[in-house]
Structure 1
């Protein structure tokens, strides 16, 4: 499994399948994830921003309310009889004024202390009592508010003013960050006579914001309408003044700013009452922490789905690639090269390799199709009806036996009309007659090359004409074929024509009849047609065996066709029984049949059949005699078949011996060998493939390749001379085929296998 996976991962096609499935998975997944994230995060972000803005607005409203509350307190102080100037200065009523101020102080939780100052007075009043300004300035030491400025502001302020938070030393040790809120009284009067000053702890204001913001930890600022920072809660962080001014200039709402190289979220709101601006500033990852949690969850979920998708993509890609891999393995196992590629993937795409292999196989099939087709038809002529002769096989070779009548024409080349005419014309004729259509006579024909190089057969299928006798119809078909041959090739072949039959399975009988008619033809005639039906006229005595039956019997024995010979013996004996001759004449006729068989056996060179000859007692019963004749026919046919196999085996040895001696001859070809051994090229190719396992071209190439490899490994001859020696003229084409088969160029092969290959590789280039 691991080995296959490693092999798959080396395949570009397999990786392409994986990426295709991942693309199909990831594309919608990315869109869906982005949509879900944008929708969820956007809604949550909007909720967080709006909630935070509402909270800050609420803080602003509370502070505004407290400021209004202080204004109201100042108004009450202005109209409080206990706090009028003369009563405050009066020693008797001063204690009552102090208590009144203390009461006003207690009415607001943000007031740290409250002071009442009458303009141009040298004293100031508080809930703690009456003190001179010198004592007050010593008790409250402001870092950025001098005594003179303090006196000026107390005397000159004409509208409520909030001073920014300042560091104040109270007494000798205590420091506070306080805001001073100055309210002139009578409020809104153009000529106020006094000023109420509230000292407010800065944390009272920023604490309001912090309490409303809850768990958010950031910076909070309150700016006055001039951009001064009234109060701030930095939580230990600081920003420069430029950044502070930038915060004040932002419009109310929510903003994203870059501070110190880090993204921050800013929420700003502005009071309609006093123009103060409230700002909170915090890192975006804190402000949108919930959004970040959602993003992290979605990323994690996305990663899990992607990992699962990768696993699924691997399974689907493997499932899709597996049959392709099997096809590649099959193509490699059936390929002509012997490289032993193993698990190594061939260069290029596997589909291209399969396509190339299919083209190669198709080329081989196209090359072998005529021979396979001829072998199929020859088997039909020799054996007749064959269970292995499937309709699909006939259809594959475009052979259609869809007519009602069938007969065979056996042809022999005979004498050439033109002595200079080459034997190639006969081969061309065989190719042209491979499939013939004669529409005027409603006939079609298929040629079959016979084992002898100058003989062929023609299987004719036709539909009888209603107004024409079957024999006349057959004669016209034969004349049409002969006329076309004479016209196209100037050949005058000898023809023997068998009887017509209604079934394609009886073509073997028609073939034997055609061979008998061909054999009976007179050699002195210049071409001609012999019909088996016209060989012997009907006998005057009905019981005599027709001559054509004896001819057919003899020919069937020569062909080794046991079925036809048995049929002929049966037909002869039936004819004899129906004639009812006298016993003596019957014995003579039986001897006639026996003599025909013995004469044929003698012509075939079969002499050791004495034990198979019927005894004299067999002549007492025609049935017994018929059985003895059948046994004799079977023995003769068996001998013929064995002799044929022996000849083919001997022929194979002769052919291989000749090829092994002459395979380096560039003129060696299938046709030249067929001519040399006097057999047809079709029969030669079929016999060679059946006995060797390779076709002729493959065998020659293999022999030449072995010789080239041997010479490369053992000699220092230049490559071009080696290729020429083995009979190959096209050097570049040979190098391409050599590399395709071995995986190396001849030069690389020599370097790897020659003892001095490294040095030779430098001297001998392809």
Structure 2
């Protein structure tokens, strides 16, 4: 039956959540974009105008500088001296020189040379009487007398505003007159060079500044007079322009002109004091983004529609796993799936219930992982691998100053069923203990030796003796056990170390103390520090050191054995005894190694000892030889341990292969069957088989289901129940996830009579 998602309030809530997530930032972004579009566009236009004006200023300043340099060269050119120009013989050469100077600049329309109080004026075209020149070249706003006065009295460069000039043929052009006294910079010039420049030569440089926008572009002289203007659309009156330019400063400004807002951009030349100005109505910036508003509205509608569709899709994607979890929770609870999932909180409540059930199962697996880590800590001493996350997950703390290990053991052969159950209860009791009065806490570790149990103790040492404090902790542990049980097992206690990284050494010592205990009575405690030692400790290796070496080899702990051998050889290096005595002492190490190898069944070790190992080699070479023997023994111990574990795992695998169809089969039942702790079964099974216990059982059941689907026509439910799986819907989902097919599809594809059986299977799916 197809579910109607829209009947679920949770599904509708997801849709509205996604829509709000989409619409709120979208509306804010739309408003922000529209509000800032005009400001950004205006800023870009103004900055562009500023850059273009600056560029025009640089170009025009360069041209004006070029004209000044030409005037300077003219003032020092002997061909253009007063006497040379007036000489009828050389005057033609002077005119040619003027023509050459004119050709050096592209903006010069014509140039003239005039000497003060002279009645003649010279150009690149020839010599003219001043009256004739004033008659032929007529300025609309520049009279003959004013022209004569300016030519005689100019003491600094003067640019005349654009004026209409009529030539002898009657053609009118708008031109600017640029007067430069010569010699330039002199306080008493003797003449003037006058350039006539077409207004178009300068206006062409500022034509592109406005672009498609309306406004005006002006070039003002240093007195604020308009020399060149370029208008598009609106124009200012002379009065308005003059009032505006009187208090204009360089940069970007906003002004109201004739009641309308205008944007004014201006730059000023440092060379000649000219100003370059653009004036644009601000209203046109808003009109430029009208199409943006229409586009934004259209885009907003499209985004809302697409977003609504995406919200539905996302809501369905988010709700679908919840719906599947609800169905799964209902199937696990044996309840019929309701057709209407709109009841408030129903989906999440069912999921919460299912999660609580599975969380309890996960909690059952956590002790196995915790015990595995603590076992590795006892074997390798790598406490640094315990990250803060692991410490929090396993509830472990090694923040105390002192640490040691206790080994607690039982006599496995003489234990009754009641005592075995009592042992298991004791292991659970010691899994984690706190001794606040002694500032200590401990963590229990199930060891690979089935008759032994490890207890890691961490504590802070007060003002009393270290050994006394350890003894008090051991007695507190014994008292704790006695409060609950009638008898307590035998205990071996290792040496205390300041770092948890040395717990592997304390574990070896605790194993040695347990193995070499004086009494086999229940409740006896053996301290490694109190084991017998030789009397001449000043040069003989202490017995407890040799015992620790032997025990480290039996445990297969090469790191501890290597450290003991190295420490002993180093002590011999620093001793001042005779070479013979030192060699004799070395026999203790060799004898302990060979004795341990013999106890472990490695009787051929003696044949591997070179005849001259003790007397023929240096202490360093002897150390390397002893370490080689230790490595061989530890490797053999590891191999034997793995073989033993493999043998047990083989038995467990055979047991699972025989009983996998039993729905009560679990890690705990197998552990009880073989008298092994569940954590040890879980860890060893994963190491040897490459997959965990649950995965192996699932694989066996899958293989049997696939076989029966191919070879029988029995209903799917019956097949699943026969292999020990009670949750049919969950099995079908997992089957499809692994194979890509439902069981019915699988049977139809691979079974000869699958066509006939597939319809009955569909009922189960």
Deviation at 1:551, TM superposition (A): 0.7
Question: What is the alpha-carbon root mean square deviation over aligned residues?
Answer: 4.9
2:637 to 608, 615, 640: 640
1:425 to 422, 425, 429: 422
**Aligned equivalent of 1:284:** none
Rg comparison, structure with higher value: 1
**Residue aligned with 1:473, SS:** helix
Deviation at 1:309, TM superposition (A): 1.6
The 5 Å alignment of 1:301-312 reads 305-312=300-307
Do the aligned residues in 2 keep the contact of 1:498 with 1:513 (CA within 8 Å)? yes
Do the aligned residues in 1 keep the contact of 2:512 with 2:548 (CA within 8 Å)? yes
Instruction: Give CA deviations for 1:544-565 in whole Å, capped at 9, x if unaligned.
Output: 2111100110111112212110
CA distance in 1, matches of 2:607, 2:551: 23
**Aligned equivalent of 2:734:** 741
Do the aligned residues in 2 keep the contact of 1:410 with 1:456 (CA within 8 Å)? yes
Instruction: Give CA deviations for 1:218-260 in whole Å, capped at 9, x if unaligned.
Output: xxxxxxxxxxxxxxxxxxxxxxxxxxxxxxxxxxxxxxxxxxx
**Aligned equivalent of 2:556:** 560
**Residue aligned with 1:406, SS:** strand
The 5 Å alignment of 1:624-663 reads 624-663=621-660
Aligned pair 1:517/2:513, yes or no?
Answer: yes
Instruction: Give CA deviations for 1:586-605 in whole Å, capped at 9, x if unaligned.
Output: 33322221011011122223
**Aligned equivalent of 1:464:** 461
Do the aligned residues in 1 keep the contact of 2:713 with 2:757 (CA within 8 Å)? no
Do the aligned residues in 2 keep the contact of 1:414 with 1:527 (CA within 8 Å)? no
Decide whether aligned partners of structure 1 residues 679 and 713 sit closer, same or farther in structure 2, where only a CA change above 3 A counts.
same
2:620 to 619, 623, 644: 623
CA distance in 1, matches of 2:744, 2:15: 39
**Residue aligned with 1:410, SS:** strand
**Residue aligned with 2:418, SS:** coil
CA distance in 2, matches of 1:722, 1:462: 57
1:443 to 428, 437, 440: 440
The 5 Å alignment of 1:695-710 reads 695-708=692-705, 710=707
Do the aligned residues in 1 keep the contact of 2:405 with 2:454 (CA within 8 Å)? yes
Decide whether aligned partners of structure 1 residues 321 and 496 sit closer, same or farther in structure 2, where only a CA change above 3 A counts.
farther
Decide whether aligned partners of structure 1 residues 360 and 317 sit closer, same or farther in structure 2, where only a CA change above 3 A counts.
farther
1:500 to 496, 501, 512: 496
CA distance in 1, matches of 2:729, 2:439: 51
Decide whether aligned partners of structure 1 residues 613 and 318 sit closer, same or farther in structure 2, where only a CA change above 3 A counts.
farther
Do the aligned residues in 2 keep the contact of 1:417 with 1:492 (CA within 8 Å)? no
Instruction: Give CA deviations for 1:477-503 in whole Å, capped at 9, x if unaligned.
Output: 111112222321334211110000111
Aligned pair 1:384/2:377, yes or no?
Answer: no
Q: Which moved more, 1:645-654 or 1:560-569?
A: 645-654
Deviation at 1:369, TM superposition (A): 1.4
Do the aligned residues in 1 keep the contact of 2:715 with 2:760 (CA within 8 Å)? no
CA distance in 1, matches of 2:455, 2:595: 29
Which ranges of structure 2 fall in alignment gaps of 5 or more residues?
A: 28-292, 326-340
Instruction: Give CA deviations for 1:623-660 in whole Å, capped at 9, x if unaligned.
Output: 33223212221232233334434444444444323321
**Residue aligned with 1:495, SS:** strand
1:490 to 486, 497, 501: 486
CA distance in 1, matches of 2:597, 2:721: 51
CA distance in 1, matches of 2:391, 2:676: 25
Do the aligned residues in 1 keep the contact of 2:720 with 2:728 (CA within 8 Å)? no
Aligned pair 1:674/2:667, yes or no?
Answer: no
**Aligned equivalent of 1:72:** none
Q: Which moved more, 1:716-725 or 1:661-670?
A: 716-725
Decide whether aligned partners of structure 1 residues 321 and 426 sit closer, same or farther in structure 2, where only a CA change above 3 A counts.
farther
Which ranges of structure 1 fall in alignment gaps of 5 or more residues?
A: 1-7, 31-297, 332-346
CA distance in 2, matches of 1:356, 1:709: 32
Do the aligned residues in 2 keep the contact of 1:708 with 1:722 (CA within 8 Å)? yes
CA distance in 2, matches of 1:29, 1:683: 58
**Residue aligned with 1:501, SS:** coil
CA distance in 2, matches of 1:680, 1:27: 58
Deviation at 1:516, TM superposition (A): 0.7
Do the aligned residues in 2 keep the contact of 1:406 with 1:502 (CA within 8 Å)? yes
Decide whether aligned partners of structure 1 residues 723 and 482 sit closer, same or farther in structure 2, where only a CA change above 3 A counts.
farther
CA distance in 1, matches of 2:589, 2:645: 31
Do the aligned residues in 2 keep the contact of 1:750 with 1:757 (CA within 8 Å)? no
Deviation at 1:693, TM superposition (A): 4.4
Aligned pair 1:372/2:372, yes or no?
Answer: no
Do the aligned residues in 2 keep the contact of 1:543 with 1:578 (CA within 8 Å)? no
**Aligned equivalent of 1:279:** none
**Aligned equivalent of 1:286:** none
The 5 Å alignment of 1:324-339 reads none
**Aligned equivalent of 1:546:** 542
CA distance in 2, matches of 1:518, 1:370: 26
Instruction: Give CA deviations for 1:304-352 in whole Å, capped at 9, x if unaligned.
Output: 6332322345567889999x69999xx9xxxxxxxxxxxxxxx999999
Decide whether aligned partners of structure 1 residues 687 and 416 sit closer, same or farther in structure 2, where only a CA change above 3 A counts.
closer
The number of equivalent residue pairs is 472
The 5 Å alignment of 1:99-114 reads none
CA distance in 2, matches of 1:633, 1:301: 81
Instruction: Give CA deviations for 1:516-548 in whole Å, capped at 9, x if unaligned.
Output: 111112464234111111112452452121111
Instruction: Give CA deviations for 1:718-759 in whole Å, capped at 9, x if unaligned.
Output: 78875665456xxxx533543453479999998997637559
Do the aligned residues in 2 keep the contact of 1:407 with 1:501 (CA within 8 Å)? yes
**Aligned equivalent of 1:761:** 760
**Residue aligned with 1:403, SS:** coil
The 5 Å alignment of 1:144-543 reads 305-313=300-308, 362=359, 365-385=362-382, 387-414=384-411, 419-466=416-463, 468-522=464-518, 524-537=520-533, 539-543=535-539
Decide whether aligned partners of structure 1 residues 530 and 21 sit closer, same or farther in structure 2, where only a CA change above 3 A counts.
closer
CA distance in 1, matches of 2:586, 2:297: 98
Decide whether aligned partners of structure 1 residues 545 and 762 sit closer, same or farther in structure 2, where only a CA change above 3 A counts.
closer
Give the alignment's TM-score, normalised by structure 2. 0.52
Decide whether aligned partners of structure 1 residues 362 and 625 sit closer, same or farther in structure 2, where only a CA change above 3 A counts.
same
Give the alignment's TM-score, normalised by structure 1. 0.52
